[in-house]
Copies of this chain bind each other. A is one copy, B any other.
Amino acid sequence: MPQQKSSNSLRRITSHEVALRAGVSQSTVSRVFSGDERLSEATRERVLGIARDLGYKPNAIARSLITRRTKIIGLVASYMTNPFFPVVLQAFTQRLHELGWRVLLFTAGTSEDVDELLPEVLAYQVDGLIIVTASLSSQMTREVLQRGTPVVLFNRYAPGSGASAVSCANYEGGRLVAEVLLDAGHKRLAYITGRADTSTNVDRQRGFLERLAERKSHCKIELGNFTYAGGFDAALRLLKSKKRPDAIFCANDITALGALDAARKLGVRVPDELSVIGFDDIPMAQWTAYDLTTVRQPVEEMIEASVELLLERVNNINLGSVLKFLPGTLVRRGSARLQP
C-alpha cells in the first residue's frame, strides 16, 4: 500500500530483469549466483556483467524462503553493561561474518525476558541460536530444539537441557586463585560474589572455597552483583570490618575494579596491604590505575568453539549436545602480591 508513490527507478531489480536483459531465463541467472558449475563461461560473464550494471544482488529473503535456510544466527545477549560482552559480541559477529552468516541481535534486560524474546527470533527462521550470559527455561529449550534449531549457550550451561554450551572452566579458575593466594601466604581471604543465580558465579565460588577447605583455610563472603558499584560497596564493607581481609577474590573484573577503587578511597595500599584478583581480563584490567591481576578467559577460543559447535549442529541436527569448558589462565599484574 505505501509503495505506490510514483516509484520511478525505485523498483527492485530481480533476477527476471537481469534475465530479460541478458536474453536468458531466470533460472540461468539464479544458477549464476548460486554458483552452479555447468554454465558456459560466456553466459556467466554476460549475466554477471548485466547484473553489475543494474546493481542486482539476489534477494536473501526470497532465497531463504525456498532453501529453508536463512543464513541468519540469532544472538541473544544480556548484561551489556559488563565490558566483557562488547568484546564477545564483536568477536561473534566478526567470526560469523567471515563464515558467511548474518547476526540478528536481541538484547534482553534480564534473563527472564529471554523466553519472551525467543518466539520473535524464531519467527525469522534463524538457523541457529547463541545465547550469551542468559539462560532459557527448559520448556523453551525443548521447544526450540525440537523445532530443529540448534542452541549454544555462551558463558552459561544447563546440563541435560539438550542445549550445547561453551564456558570458561570457572571451577578450576576458582581453585587456581585459592592456590596462588594461599601460596603467597595470605591469611584473611574474602570473596565478593556475582549474581547468585549464575553458573559463572557459583562455579568460581565453589572452586575457590573447595580449594581453601582442602588447604584448611576459609574465607569471608560478601555479596556483589557483577557490577562496579556492587564490588565497590562490598569491598567497602570488607575493608571497614574489624578483621580486614588481606586478599579479595572478585567474581569478575568489573567487580574487582570497584573493589580496587574502594581500597583507593580508604587509602588501603595495593598490593602491600591488600591483594585483589578478578576474573575475565577485560581491557580495563591493564589500565595503569588498576593493573589488575586476573584469570583470563580464553575468549577467542571460546568464541571459536561456540561457532563451530553451533554450525556443526546447523548442518546436522542429529548431533547431540556438548558442554565445553576451556581453561582460564592467571595473568599476573600488580594488584596482587603473589610471592610469599
Contact = CB atoms under 8 A, between A and B. Distances in A.
A287 B257 contact: yes
A264 interface: yes
Nearest to A64: B61
Nearest to A265: B288
B81 A102 contact: no
A148 interface: yes
Interface in A60-107: 60-62, 64-65, 68, 70, 72, 75, 80-81, 83, 85-87, 89-90, 93-94, 97, 102-107
Contacts of A208: none
A148 B61 contact: no
B317 A10 contact: yes
Interface in A1-59: 2-3, 5, 7, 9-10, 12, 55, 57-59
- What is the copy number of this chain in the assembly? 2
A315 B289 CA distance: 49
Interface stretch (A122-130, A199-207, A331-339): A122-130
A261 interface: yes
Nearest to A260: B289
Given A120-B102, A124-B60, A228 B287 contact: yes
A217 interface: no
A105 B107 contact: no
Nearest to A109: B94
A282 to B, nearest CB: 10
Contacts of A64: 61
6 contacts: A72-B104, A89-B105, A102-B120, A257-B287, A257-B289, A260-B289
A15 B35 CA distance: 33
A106 to B, nearest CB: 7
Contacts of A260: 289
Contacts of A122: 57
A185 B147 CA distance: 68
